[in-house]
Amino acid sequence: MNRLELFFGKSFIFLLAILIGIPLGILAGIVSFVTKVIEYPFYIYMGTYKQWSDRVTMERADMWTRHIYRMEQKKREQSEE
């Protein structure tokens, strides 16, 4: 195998890698974008619903339950810092 054949072989492999890799990269990017676009509204809805349900639960709870909940929340915030 001479140098010219080796050069053409490597060039051919390089071109095929580019021709296959770029479209696959674009396809993976598009698929990822579409899944995030579809998933994002549901993620926001779940977070908002959880906040709303927690607020409604706390409004219906008695005074001591709310106090205990606030104390636990403060304890969690202090432990995170």
13-36 pLDDT per residue, tens = 999 999 999 999 999 999 999 999
The structure's pTM equals: 0.54
Vertex 77, ends 63 and 40: CA angle to 5°? 95
What is the 3-class SS of the chain, one letter each residue?
CCHHHHHHHHHHHHHHHHHHHHHHHHHHHHHHHHHHHHHHHHHHHHHHHHHHHHHHHHHHCCHHHHHHHHHHHHHHHHHHC
Of 9-13, 46-50, 61-65, 68-72, the least confident = 61-65
Domain range holding 32? 3-80
Give me the number of domains the chain comprises: 1
Residue 66 CB partners (closer than 8 Å, separation 6+):
58
